[in-house]
Structure 1
Amino acid sequence: MFSISNKHEEFYDDLMQNAEVFHQEAGISLAAMTDLNNLGQHLKDAAALENQADKTNKEIIRKLAITFITPIDREDFYHLSSQLKFCIDHLHGTIRRLENYHIKEANPAAIEVMQILVDMATEMKDLFGKLKSISRNEVVLIEGAEQLGTQERKIDHLYRAEISRLFDGSQELFDVIRWKDIMDTLENTSDEVEGLANIIKEVTMKYA
C-alpha cells in the first residue's frame, strides 16, 4: 500500500543513522590500528555497526518501494544510502584485513590515512545532518563536499608515498603484500567517500 500522507522526512533520519555508523566505524578502525592488542574487541564492535548499517540500508530501500511522496527523488535517496553503505563496508574490510593478515605492528602511513578518514567521516556526518534543509544549507553543503575532495587528494599523496616505500626493495615480502592491500583498501575507501560527497553536491545543486 502506497503512502501519500506526508513527505516522509524520516528518510533523512535513517540516512543520518548510517552517517553516524560511518563516523563510529572510522573511529573504531583508527583504534584498531593503534591498539592491535585489542583487535578482537574492535572487530566485534565494527561487525555490530556494519550489521546495524545493513539493516538500516535495507529498511530505507524497503520504505522507498512503498512510499509515494518523498522529500527528494527516490533515486537520490537510494544513491545516498547505497554509497554511504559502500563507505561503511570498505572501512569494515580494512579492520578485517588487520585480522586476516595477522598484523602485529602498526604502520604510521596507514594510521595517518586513517586519521584523515576519521576527519572525513566527521565532515560527512555534519553534511548529512544538514540535508534536511538543503536550500538553507546550500553553501555549507557544497563547500563541505569540496573539502572532502581536498582530503581525498591528501590521502592519494600519502598512499603513493607509502606504496613507493613498500616497493623500495628494503621491505619483507609478506609485509609488502599485507600493507599494499590494506593501503589499497584505505585509498579505495577515500574514493568512495569522495563519490558520496559528489552525490551530496549533485543533490544540493538539484534541490537548493
Structure 2
Amino acid sequence: MGFNIKPKEEKFFDYFIEASELIKDSADILCTAMAGDKEVEICMQKIDELEQKVDNVTDTAISKLNKTFITPLDREDIYAIAHKLDDVADSIQSAIEKMHLYNATPASEGTKELTGYVFKATKQLEKVFAQLSSIKKHRLKLQARCSRIVALEDKGDRLYREEVAKLFRECKDPIEIIKWKEILSDLEQTLDLCEDVANLLKGVVLKYA
C-alpha cells in the first residue's frame, strides 16, 4: 500500500508558538521604524525575513495537517489559525513596505500609539499560544488574554478614526494624506486580524476547556 499518512499527532502548538513569536518580533521592529530609531529600509528587510519565516511555518503546519489523522485541535481550527497568523504577518509587512516606498516619515504620535497597540496585541497572541497546549489548566488566562486583544482592537479602531480625521483636518499636502491614510489602514487591519485570531482562540478554549 502506498499510503504516506502519519497516524499521529503533530506538534501544531509548536508551529503556532513559533509563528506568533516571529509576528511579535515583526511588530516590535515596526514600532522601531515608526519611532525613527532605525532606518525604515533596514527595518523592512528584517520584517521581510520574519514574514518569510512565518510563511514557512504556517505552510509546514498546513502540510502536516494534510498528513495527520489525530490532531490536538479540530482540523478546521488549525487551518483557520494558521491562515490568520499568516495574514497578520502580511499586514505588518504591508505597513513597513508602504513606509519605505512612500518615504513616509516622520510618523505622528497617534500613528506611533496605534503601532504600539499592534505590538501589544501580538504580544498577547504570543502568550496565548505559549499556554494553548494546556487549555484546561490555563482556561481563564487564555480567555483574559483574548479579551485584551479584543479591547486593543476596539481602542485601535477609535484611534484610527481620530488619526484619519486629524490627517484630513491638519495636513495640507494631499500626497501625505494618501500615504499616511494607507499606512494607518494597514495598522488598523492588523489589529482586526489579531482580533480574528483571538476570536478563533476563544472558540477553541470554549470547545476544549
Q: Same fold (TM over 0.5)?
A: yes
The 2-side partners of 1:7 and 1:37 are apart by 43
After the TM superposition, list the runs of 4 or more consecutive aligned residues in structure 1 that deviate by more than 4 angstroms: none
The 2-side partners of 1:193 and 1:29 are apart by 16
Q: What's 2:99 paired with?
A: 98
For residues 130-179 of structure 1, what are the alpha-carbon distances to aligned partners after superposition, in whole Å with 9 as ceiling and x for unaligned? 11011111111111111111111111111111111111264311111111
Q: TM-score, normalising length from structure 1? A: 0.95
What is the root-mean-square deviation in Å for CA atoms of aligned residues?
Answer: 1.2
The 1-side partners of 2:42 and 2:171 are apart by 33
Q: 1:93 to 1:205 in 2, by over 3 A?
A: same
Q: What's 1:150 paired with?
A: 151
The 1-side partners of 2:197 and 2:29 are apart by 21
Q: What's 2:167 paired with?
A: 166
2:61 is equivalent to residue 60 of structure 1: yes
Shift, 1:37, TM fit: 5.3
The 2-side partners of 1:29 and 1:71 are apart by 33
Matches within 5 A, 1:90-129: 90-129=91-130
Shift, 1:83, TM fit: 0.6
Are 1:94 and 1:182, in contact at CA under 8 Å, matched by a contact in 2?
yes
Q: Counterpart amino acid of 1:7?
A: E
Tell me, which stretches of 5 or more residues in structure 2 are unaligned? Answer: none
Shift, 1:44, TM fit: 1.1
Matches within 5 A, 1:190-201: 190-201=191-202
Q: What's 1:183 paired with?
A: 184
2:205 is equivalent to residue 204 of structure 1: yes
Paired residues, what number? 206
Q: What's 2:82 paired with?
A: 81
Q: Counterpart amino acid of 2:202?
A: K
Shift, 1:73, TM fit: 1.3
Are 1:36 and 1:105, in contact at CA under 8 Å, matched by a contact in 2?
no
Are 2:171 and 2:177, in contact at CA under 8 Å, matched by a contact in 1?
no
Shift, 1:91, TM fit: 0.5
Q: Counterpart amino acid of 1:197?
A: A
The more displaced of 163-172 and 103-112 is 163-172
Q: What's 1:7 paired with?
A: 9
Are 1:155 and 1:190, in contact at CA under 8 Å, matched by a contact in 2?
yes
Are 2:168 and 2:177, in contact at CA under 8 Å, matched by a contact in 1?
yes
For residues 44-96 of structure 1, what are the alpha-carbon distances to aligned partners after superposition, in whole Å with 9 as ceiling and x for unaligned? 11111011111111111110001111111111111111111111110111000
Are 1:36 and 1:106, in contact at CA under 8 Å, matched by a contact in 2?
no
